């Protein structure tokens, strides 16, 4: 058996139906494709928050005995600290600014399912230079919890002239720059009912700028060139309109790993659907078995699987089916987000 199906939670998207439900648009730019995956696909300098993520591949060479571990409060559980309403762990980012060093350069707005979102930013101002990104969700200013954009802006604007402040952003975001002069963007963006922030990447062309920049099917684009995106048409329009750099902000940190071949033995994995639509795309790792192929590859309970061999994971039944239908002599590659860096 390659996994156990958890039936308690039903996904909004039925197995195999994603292709019919998603609208999609491909975005490319003129230029020769380059196949050298080690070449950087951005021109960000040392002070820029837009940095290229390195692709991480883990290969398995052996399997060992299996021992069951639970996701919840029994045995040697692999637990996920998180919110009251979800098992998702939420990381924080802290950005410091000084009033005497100039304006913070932030535009904020309230979104119903998200909170206070950075909707605009001056790239040359303090907040951007210190790591704040369009799409970040602000939860506190100088340790004071905030629930409204007006409240956060008041705290920022009313700070003492020679004082300093720390802005706390909840959740993990990453940024990178794709230079259209270097080749095709090579990504297909989609809209989906279970994605409440940004737009989903459905396909990535091999050798494209997106591929070299370590973007994966299942990744979510939050903003393009400092503009929040809410539909695939809007995202693709902004990317196609850009003359040179395409500056993307993505939700979470994604990795691609190999969990070996089907012939290597049991997978040691059980999956379930997300508890909340706001937990994002993909499916949750419910349990893993100690010393299994999945544990050795780097998966743990609470992580999120985004795609299997380039196909989006839409619910736990479909995800396990994708794994089980891989040929015995082919490797299974999964894209996932660690629960501690989402």
Burial of 195 (0-12, 13-18, 19+ CB in 10 A): middle
Same fold, 23-55+174-251 and 92-170: yes
Strand partners, 245: 179
Which pLDDT does position 14 carry in this prediction? 35
Domain boundaries, the chain: 4-18+56-83+254-341, 23-55+174-251, 92-170
* Nearest CA among 257, 213, 260, 264 for reference residue 239: 213
129 φ, ψ (degrees, to nearest 5): -65, -25
Which region, left, alpha or beta, applies to residue 5 given φ > 0 means left and ψ of -120 to 50 means alpha?
beta
Give residue for tokens 């794709």: 178
Tally helices (H) and strands (E) across the chain: 7, 21
Whether the predicted model's global pTM rises above the 0.95 cut: no
Strand partners, 290: 67
Which pLDDT does position 288 carry in this prediction? 85
Q: What is the pLDDT along the chain (342 residues), one digit of tens a residue?
A: 333 333 333 333 333 333 444 455 566 533 322 223 333 333 333 444 544 333 333 222 222 222 222 233 322 333 333 333 344 456 788 999 998 888 999 999 999 888 999 999 999 999 999 999 999 999 999 999 999 999 999 999 888 888 889 999 988 889 999 999 999 999 998 876 666 778 999 999 999 999 999 999 999 999 999 999 998 899 999 999 998 999 999 988 899 999 887 667 777 888 988 887 667 788 999 888 887 888 888 888 888 999 999 999 988 999 989 988 888 778 889 999 888 766
Which pLDDT does position 251 carry in this prediction? 87
Angle at 241 between CA 240 and CA 247, to 5 degrees: 80
* Joined tokens for residue 116: 């206070």
CA dihedral (321, 324, 329, 331) positive or negative: positive
Could you tell me the CATH superfamily of domain 23-55+174-251?
Answer: PDZ domain (2.30.42.10)
* Cα 288 from Cα 295, distance rounded (Å): 7
Could you tell me the CATH superfamily of domain 4-18+56-83+254-341?
Answer: PDZ domain (2.30.42.10)
CATH class of 92-170: mainly beta
Helix spans in the chain (H) = 18-21, 126-129, 149-157, 209-212, 232-241, 293-297, 316-324
Which region, left, alpha or beta, applies to residue 235 given φ > 0 means left and ψ of -120 to 50 means alpha?
alpha
How far is residue 172 CA from its own chain's centroid? 8
Which pLDDT does position 124 carry in this prediction? 93
Give residue for tokens 């990178």: 176
């Amino acid at each position: 058996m390659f996994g156990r199906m958890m039936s308690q939670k039903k996904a909004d998207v039925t197995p195999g139906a994603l292709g019919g439900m998603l609208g999609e648009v491909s975005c490319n730019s003129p230029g020769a494709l380059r196949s050298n995956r080690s070449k950087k696909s951005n021109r960000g300098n040392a002070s820029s928050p837009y940095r290229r993520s390195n692709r991480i591949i883990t290969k398995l060479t052996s399997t060992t005995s299996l021992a069951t571990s639970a996701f919840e409060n029994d045995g040697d559980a692999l637990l996920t600290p998180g919110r009251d309403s979800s098992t998702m762990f939420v990381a924080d980012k802290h950005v410091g600014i000084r009033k005497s060093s100039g304006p913070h350069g932030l535009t904020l707005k309230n979104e119903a399912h998200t909170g206070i979102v950075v909707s605009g930013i001056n790239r040359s101002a303090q907040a951007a230079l210190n790591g704040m990104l369009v799409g970040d969700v602000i939860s506190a200013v100088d340790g004071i919890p905030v629930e409204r954009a007006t409240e956060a802006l008041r705290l920022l604007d009313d700070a003492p002239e020679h004082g300093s402040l720390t802005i706390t952003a909840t959740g993990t975001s990453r940024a990178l720059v794709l230079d259209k002069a270097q080749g095709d963007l090579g990504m297909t963006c989609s809209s989906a009912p279970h994605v409440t922030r940004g737009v989903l990447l459905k396909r990535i062309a091999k050798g494209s700028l997106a591929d070299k920049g370590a973007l994966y099917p299942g990744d979510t684009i939050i903003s393009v060139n400092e503009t929040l995106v809410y539909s695939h048409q809007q995202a693709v329009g902004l990317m196609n309109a850009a003359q040179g750099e395409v500056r993307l902000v993505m939700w979470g940190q994604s990795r691609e790993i190999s969990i070996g071949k089907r012939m290597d033995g049991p997978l040691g994995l059980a999956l379930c659907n997300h508890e909340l639509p706001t937990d994002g795309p993909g499916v949750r790792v419910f349990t893993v078995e100690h010393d299994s192929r999945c544990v050795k590859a780097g998966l743990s309970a609470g992580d999120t699987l985004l795609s299997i061999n380039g196909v989006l994971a839409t619910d736990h039944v479909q995800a396990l089916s994708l794994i089980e239908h891989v040929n015995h002599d082919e490797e299974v590659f999964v894209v996932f987000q660690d629960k501690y860096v989402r």
